[in-house]
Structure 1
Amino acid sequence: MNNATASQTLPLAGKTALVTGGSRSIGAAIAKRLAADGAQVAFTYNGSPKLAEDTAAAIESAGGRALMIQANAANPDAVRGSIAKTVETFGALDILVNNAGIASPIPLEETRFEDYQAMLAVNVTGVFVATQEAVRHMKEDGRIVHIGSSVTKHAGFQGLAAYGLTKGAVAGFNRSLVHELGPRGITVNTVHPGPVNTDMNPADGEIAKMLTSSIPLGRYGETNEIASLVAFLVSPQASFITGADILADGGLTS
């Protein structure tokens, strides 16, 4: 089988994806997986240019096409610009993965209003603006996936009130979008990861010591496991799945 024939068998061949916050951890794993499945992938980053370069290099060394875009997810103009740059470079936008997010585990009474506003700007407003702008370019069979959090079902420990509020907003946004975008053939789903082994929340860290015993599978998830779920949801095989809130948490919330 030649390369051209092989590429046609990939589930996302001919598709263009944008992953927000795609330079590290779950976002990088998603960007790499979508590229491996045949998509040309743009991804945004903010404060980690070296990690963004590493992600782009990994995609390109595997034969994919990558576009790294510096864009602060808290800045609506930057978010809109990332959509425009993706369409300008690749000529289309078929898949949006709203992955960019921040968390500050601080007890409610100690949470500064500016910390809350920062989370709201990235986790809610950034998602709204990216989605609003992306659907202007999407055709039938478009795919949107939000990365939420199992915190919306089970917080597990204190200090997550503001973060849980923002992720709960994303889940509500998802359900409302179903009725607006369904008639256009665009699906929209939310993946809610539980504890995942990342640089911000390592499987051998202090939080893991509190949570792992409560996870029925007895371990943290891996970023590639979240990426595999996202890859399925944006594939043709998931064309009848929309409005779903899918937990990937090792049974933590069961």
Structure 2
Amino acid sequence: MDDSQLLRYSRHVLLDDIGIEGQQKLLAAHALILGAGGLGSPVALYLASAGVGRLTLIDDDTVDLTNLQRQIIHTEASIGRPKVDSARQAIAARNPGVQLHTVARRADAALLDERVQSADVVLDCGDNYATRHALNAACVRHRKPLVSGAAIRFDGQVSVFDARRADSPCYACVFPPNQQVEDVACATLGVLAPLVGLVGSIQATEAIKLLCGIGEPLVGRLLMIDTRQGEFTTLRVSRQADCPVCGADARPAHNGP
């Protein structure tokens, strides 16, 4: 790090668990963020501010006036523009040293498989059940840690699925892909504005922990957030031997670490 970076990240450097070595890990890291909306906004801003050196942001949507209630990376001047372009401008203004690659396409299995393999950590900030499963499958295939978040109405949840760990479930272990689930949208059910900031901030925290190798990530745990009651509840979740994605009959063999 040069003198400017030492000053910019000095509050990280002061933390014994991060220090100069940990900050250098962040600067060398690559995070893939799926979604530039309510969850992706705080995730992208905090990872960029924290000094994660490379970010890939995938989103095919454009900024709408209704987004501005909670999607803090966008402004009125961005209405009508692709969200990834709006996010690029905001991230560049906050930390021009971050390398940002944007993909303004709808995420399908082929795109996710291509992009996930080069990432060090993947963050699911989307709102589509099928896409969540496609992202999870790519993370299992390439053994990449996945930080998953969701928020609707007054309730949120966060968990970490780390395919590098033998004891870690994957997203499909907890939310089976053959389960009949109707995608719910905040456009019809609503969502509390600060809730997505809370969930996204926890996702960013978990990603930094994974990249720096500090603390204990939310592997095997589902953090449930109830903002109406002001309650945080942790549920234990386990890997399922018959999981169609990471189970013994489905998980691909890997050579090396």
What TM-score, normalized by structure 2, do the two folds share?
A: 0.55
1:62-77 correspondence to structure 2 within 5 Å: 62=94, 63=96, 64-73=98-107, 75-77=108-110
How many angstroms does 1:243 deviate by? 1.9
The amino acid of 1:127's aligned partner reads L
How many angstroms does 1:246 deviate by? 1.2
The answer to whether the Cα contact below 8 Å between 1:18 and 1:41 also exists between their aligned partners in 2 is yes
The amino acid of 2:130's aligned partner reads A
Q: How far, CA to CA, are the matches of 2:199 and 2:148 in structure 1? A: 12
Aligned residues: 179
The answer to whether the Cα contact below 8 Å between 1:95 and 1:144 also exists between their aligned partners in 2 is yes
Higher helix content, 1 or 2: 1
Higher strand content, 1 or 2: 2
1:32-181 correspondence to structure 2 within 5 Å: 32-39=45-52, 40-48=54-62, 50-62=82-94, 63=96, 64-73=98-107, 75-83=108-116, 87=118, 93-102=119-128, 120-123=129-132, 125-135=133-143, 138=144, 143-149=145-151, 180-181=163-164
The amino acid of 2:221's aligned partner reads A
Map Cα deviations across residues 207-236 of structure 1 (whole Å, 9 max, x no partner): 45xx9xxxxxxx653433222211221223
- Inter-CA distance 20–250: structure 2 relative to 1 (3 Å threshold): same
- Inter-CA distance 83–182: structure 2 relative to 1 (3 Å threshold): closer
The answer to whether the Cα contact below 8 Å between 1:18 and 1:95 also exists between their aligned partners in 2 is yes
Tell me what 2:65 maps to.
none
Tell me what 1:201 maps to.
186
- Inter-CA distance 188–224: structure 2 relative to 1 (3 Å threshold): farther
The answer to whether the Cα contact below 8 Å between 1:181 and 1:187 also exists between their aligned partners in 2 is no
Q: How far, CA to CA, are the matches of 2:105 and 2:197 in structure 1? A: 24
- Long gaps (5+) in structure 2: 13-22, 63-80, 172-184, 232-257
What TM-score, normalized by structure 1, do the two folds share?
A: 0.56
Give aligned-pair identity as a percent: 12
Q: 1:230 aligns with which of 203, 221, 228?
A: 203
Secondary structure at 1:52 match in 2: helix
- Inter-CA distance 227–149: structure 2 relative to 1 (3 Å threshold): closer
The amino acid of 2:197's aligned partner reads N
Q: How far, CA to CA, are the matches of 2:58 and 2:164 in structure 1? A: 24
The answer to whether the Cα contact below 8 Å between 2:151 and 2:196 also exists between their aligned partners in 1 is no
Q: 1:240 aligns with which of 181, 194, 216?
A: 216
The amino acid of 1:201's aligned partner reads C
- Long gaps (5+) in structure 1: 88-92, 103-119, 156-166, 190-199, 212-218
How many angstroms does 1:132 deviate by? 2.6
- Inter-CA distance 81–181: structure 2 relative to 1 (3 Å threshold): closer
The answer to whether the Cα contact below 8 Å between 1:17 and 1:42 also exists between their aligned partners in 2 is yes
Map Cα deviations across residues 89-134 of structure 1 (whole Å, 9 max, x no partner): xxxx2211022223xxxxxxxxxxxxxxxxx4223x3232331344
Q: 2:41 aligns with which of 28, 43, 50?
A: 28
Q: How far, CA to CA, are the matches of 1:27 and 1:50 in structure 2? A: 14
Tell me what 1:90 maps to.
none
- Inter-CA distance 144–187: structure 2 relative to 1 (3 Å threshold): farther
Secondary structure at 2:82 match in 1: helix
Q: How far, CA to CA, are the matches of 1:43 and 1:134 in structure 2? A: 18
The answer to whether the Cα contact below 8 Å between 1:83 and 1:130 also exists between their aligned partners in 2 is yes
Secondary structure at 2:27 match in 1: coil
Q: How far, CA to CA, are the matches of 1:187 and 1:55 in structure 2? A: 32
CA RMSD of aligned residues (A): 3.9
